[in-house]
Every structure is written in C-alpha cells, then in structure tokens.
C-alpha cells in the first residue's frame, strides 16, 4: 500500500531526518518555556514528572508519530484518512490531523511573538545594553519591550516572514544544512553558560532547585503542576500535532524508527536540562523570582551576559542561536497545513505557505496585543498569549497524543506496526513499545487530565 516517497520531497539521509526532527524539537520550548514553567511549579518535583513523561509517554508516542507519518507519506490529515481506510476504520480519524493544524496555528502565533523577543534581544546584546545590568535594569528592559506593541509587531512580522520563506521553498533543502551547525553551536554555548553559572551563580542551590524533588513545592494544585509537566514534555518534543508525523513522512523506509526517536528525545531533554542549569544558579544568586513567568530568561540572562568576560560576544551569539532554534521549530509548525493545502487544494507551495503564514501572523497580533493594549481582555483569567500557550501544550497536544497512541496501539494491525517499526515482534524493544503505546501513554494522559480537573 504505502508509497516509498512523498510528493513534498525526502530527507537525503537518516542523519538529515534526525537533524530536522531535532531542529523541530529543540527551540524556545527548551530554553524559554522549560525554565519558566519549572520555576512556576517549584523546580525538582516538576522536573522529575517531566522526565518521566518524556520517557514513558513522549518516547512511545514519538515512535508512533514517525511510524504513522512514514506509512502514510502525506500531510497528517490525508495520512490519517489513508491509514484509517487501510485498517478498515472510520474516516473520522482524519480529525486528528485537523486538530493538529489548529494546534499548529495557535502555537505558531504566540511562538512567533516570543521568537520576536529573541530577535530584539540580539540587538540589545550586540549594542552592549547588557553591560553592568542588575536585576532591576534587566527587568526594566524587558518590560519596556513587552509594553511596546509596535516593536513587538515589527519583530513578529520579521520572524513570520523568515518562517514562511523557508516553508515556501520546501523544508528538505535548507533545513538540513542549517541544523547541522546550529545544534553543536547551541550545545557548546549552553555548556559555556553552565560553566559560567557554576562559577558566578549559586550553582549548588540551582542544582538542588532543579533536581531535588520536593513534592510539597508543586503547590496547592499538584494536579495542575503534573498536567503542566506533561504538557511541557509534549510541547518540547513537538508531539501531538503532526509536526513529527510529517517529518516522518519524508524519512526513507529503511531507517530505524526506535533508534532515531531515542536520539531526538535525548538531545531535546539534554538541551532543556542544560538551559535550567545555566539559568537557575543566576536566578538564585541575584534574588530573582523563579516563578516570575514567561519573562524569566529575558530578565536573567542579560545579568549574566552583562557581567561575564566576553559577554557582549557570547550574549549576541546566544540570542542569534536561539533565533535559529526557534526558526527550525516554527518551520515544522507550519509544514503540516502547507502540505495539506498543496495536496488537497492544488496550491503551489509558495502560495500555501503565504496563506498559512498570513493567518498565523494575524493571530499573532492578538497575542502581542494581549501583552499591553489588550491586557484587560482575558478568557479563563488569561490573555490570548497565555491562553494559547496553556491550551495547546496542556490540552490539544496531549489529546492529539492519546489518539495517536490509540491508533498505533489498538487500531493498526500488529503486523503493520511491526513491519513499519522494523522491530521483531517477539523482541524486547517491540514488546515494551507496545505496552507503552497501548496502555501507559493513553491511560497516563487521561489520568493526568482527570487529576487536573480535580476528579480525584
């Protein structure tokens, strides 16, 4: 049944796929979202739950998503429709693809605004504005940016244009080359930051904050904290909306899915933990509030760059790399809907990318206005940006993940999954995956949902 190539292009090698998928996974989720969310829920216990979710829920679902994508070789909507037909089940499974597109729109709209902050910080770093900054100065600088809708709009527009241009050309071409040098460079710079934090910050305190699980710290609503840890795992691994699925559809049929998924998840987790180890020692040493919210790294890192030797250079390079990391993630958020427009509406790629990019850009304006002019408008007590962030990571992505797990574990015939994963059905790895994807992942997500809404 399944074809061996996609009409949208193919990765040139297994390494190219790993690089692209890691490029999707590693982004603002690791360096901006992980520290601030961990800080909101008190550190260690949150981090432990997050790690458990990555291993027991994220990894098996990542394998399932790559597997489904590679078997379908189309946009997530058409892939789900085709596989549902092959397995003789309802075409309603394609709704999974639609939900993913909705999640992609919502995520990218606020993601681009945060990427815009990062672009703005490249210039603040490069023009020496961090020099001698203390906590008060860093906070004032951040607040001034967030209060200025015109500047936010300019950066958001630039970032969405960058993203749309790459998707218009086709992701298989440039991405591979960009990620090949980006990942090692980002990694080296994070290690440098951790070394600086070890020497200038409260390193012991930071490590204890991050790795000593004190469950009392989860706060008055532990269900909420556990939900956020799980949501963070989905968000950071790019799972539940079809990004990894569509990247899987460009992977050749021989590559081992299990091995690739382990490598991608491990790199993603390592980057998040390094970011935490770089930031919390500085937060604690400067008396900052770990739970101060989405501005955390933007109020913390300038202090470090302003004081460390060579901080002008390091700071500039760091924010440039963060822009690239956000860019390679944003591309994967736009790709599923663009592939669908090309397949079903006969759009050319550039036209499809322009249309998708335009819708996201408009939604993004609502997000950036919610930080200032529209700060009074709230839904469930949250402005648009916070709302989109919360709903996508904590609801839409895990929900998508449950359906992916059920489809891979219960709907697809055992023989199809064995064949596609390339694992021996009596082997240990296949059996573990099957138990995780059939039971642990779906039940885990549902239990976390019910716990969060206070059902038990």
For residue 381, the tally of other CB atoms under 10 A from its CB is 7
Q: How many residues bind ligand PHE (CB under 6 A)?
A: 15
Residue among 130 and 235 whose Cβ is closer to ligand PHE: 235
Residue among 21 and 312 whose Cβ is closer to ligand PHE: 21
Query: Per the structure block, which two tokens stand in for 26?
Result: 């590693």
- In the complex, what is the shortest distance from the CB of residue 216 to ligand PHE, in angstroms, rounded to a whole number? 29
Note whether 27 binds ligand PHE by CB under 6 A: yes
Tell me which residues in 225-264 interact with ligand PHE (CB under 6 A): 235-236, 238, 241, 243
Residue among 374 and 390 whose Cβ is closer to ligand PHE: 390
Note whether 24 binds ligand PHE by CB under 6 A: yes
Residue 255 Rama label (left phi>0; alpha psi -120 to 50; beta): beta
Note whether 316 binds ligand PHE by CB under 6 A: no
Whose CB is nearest to ligand PHE?
29
Residue from 28, 264, 339, 366 touching ligand PHE (CB under 6 A): that is 28
Note whether 25 binds ligand PHE by CB under 6 A: yes
Q: Which of 374, 148, 408 is nearest to 261 (CA)?
A: 408
- 25, 268 Cβ separation under 8 angstroms: yes
Residue among 32 and 203 whose Cβ is closer to ligand PHE: 32
Rounded to 5 degrees, φ, ψ at 439 are -115, -60
Q: How far apart are CA 85 and CA 3, in angstroms?
A: 15
Q: How many CA atoms lie within 13 A of 436 on its CB side?
A: 20
Note whether 110 binds ligand PHE by CB under 6 A: no
Q: How far apart are CA 371 and CA 386, in angstroms?
A: 9
Residue among 74 and 269 whose Cβ is closer to ligand PHE: 269
- In the complex, what is the shortest distance from the CB of residue 242 to ligand PHE, in angstroms, rounded to a whole number? 8
**H or E stretch including 370?**
none
Q: How far apart are CA 367 and CA 358, in angstroms?
A: 14
CA–centroid distance for 291 within its chain: 20
- In the complex, what is the shortest distance from the CB of residue 246 to ligand PHE, in angstroms, rounded to a whole number? 10
Q: Which residues contact 346 (CB under 8 A, 6 or more apart)?
A: none
Note whether 329 binds ligand PHE by CB under 6 A: yes
- Per CB under 6 A, the segment of 21-29, 179-187, 362-370, 434-442 that binds ligand PHE is 21-29
- In the complex, what is the shortest distance from the CB of residue 327 to ligand PHE, in angstroms, rounded to a whole number? 10
Q: Which residues contact 169 (CB under 8 A, 6 or more apart)?
A: 349, 350
Note whether 29 binds ligand PHE by CB under 6 A: yes
Q: How far apart are CA 150 and CA 322, in angstroms?
A: 22
Residue among 251 and 333 whose Cβ is closer to ligand PHE: 333
β-bridge mates for residue 382, sequence order: 379
**Site residues (vs ligand PHE, CB under 6 A):** 24-25, 27-30, 107, 235-236, 238, 241, 243, 329, 332-333
């Amino acid at each position: 049944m399944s074809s061996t190539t996609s009409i949208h292009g193919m990765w040139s090698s297994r390494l190219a796929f790993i690089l692209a998928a890691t490029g999707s996974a590693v982004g603002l989720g690791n360096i901006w979202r992980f520290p601030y969310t961990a800080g909101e829920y008190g550190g260690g216990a949150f981090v432990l739950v997050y790690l458990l979710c990555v291993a027991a829920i994220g990894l098996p679902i990542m394998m399932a998503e790559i597997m489904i994508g590679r078997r379908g070789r189309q946009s997530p909507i058409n892939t789900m429709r085709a596989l549902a037909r092959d397995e003789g089940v309802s075409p309603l499974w394609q709704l999974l693809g639609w939900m993913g597109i909705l999640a992609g729109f919502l995520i990218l709209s606020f993601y681009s605004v945060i990427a815009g902050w990062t672009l703005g910080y490249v210039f603040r770093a490069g023009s020496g504005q961090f020099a001698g900054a203390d906590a008060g100065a860093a906070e004032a600088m951040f607040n001034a940016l967030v209060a200025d809708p015109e500047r936010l709009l300019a950066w958001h527009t630039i970032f969405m244009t960058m993203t749309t241009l790459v998707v218009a050309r086709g992701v298989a071409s440039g991405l591979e080359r960009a990620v090949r040098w980006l990942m090692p460079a980002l990694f080296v710079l994070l290690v440098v930051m951790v070394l600086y934090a070890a020497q200038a910050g409260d390193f012991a305190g930071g490590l204890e904050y991050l790795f000593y699980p004190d469950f009392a710290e989860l706060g008055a609503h532990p269900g909420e904290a556990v939900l956020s840890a799980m949501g963070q795992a989905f968000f950071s691994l790019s799972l539940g909306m079809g990004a990894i699925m569509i990247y899987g559809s460009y992977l050749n049929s021989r590559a081992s899915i299990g091995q690739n998924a382990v490598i991608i998840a491990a790199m993603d987790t390592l980057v998040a933990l390094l970011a935490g180890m770089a930031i919390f020692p500085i937060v604690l040493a400067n008396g900052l509030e770990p739970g101060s919210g989405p501005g955390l790294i933007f109020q913390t890192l300038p202090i470090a760059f302003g004081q460390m030797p060579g901080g002008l250079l390091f700071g500039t390079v760091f924010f440039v790399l963060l822009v690239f990391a956000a860019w390679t993630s944003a591309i994967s958020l736009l790709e599923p809907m663009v592939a669908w427009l090309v397949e079903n509406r006969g759009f050319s790629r550039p036209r499809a990318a322009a249309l998708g990019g335009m819708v996201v850009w408009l939604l993004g304006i609502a997000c950036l206005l919610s930080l200032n002019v529209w700060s009074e408008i709230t839904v469930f007590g949250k402005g648009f940006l916070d709302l989109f962030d919360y709903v996508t990571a904590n609801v839409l992505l895990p929900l998508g993940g449950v359906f992916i797990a059920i489809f891979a574990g219960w709907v697809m015939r055992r023989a199809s999954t064995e064949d596609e994963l390339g694992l021996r059905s009596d082997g240990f790895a296949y059996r573990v995956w099957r138990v995780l994807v059939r039971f642990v992942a779906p039940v885990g997500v549902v239990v976390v949902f019910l716990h969060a809404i206070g059902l038990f």
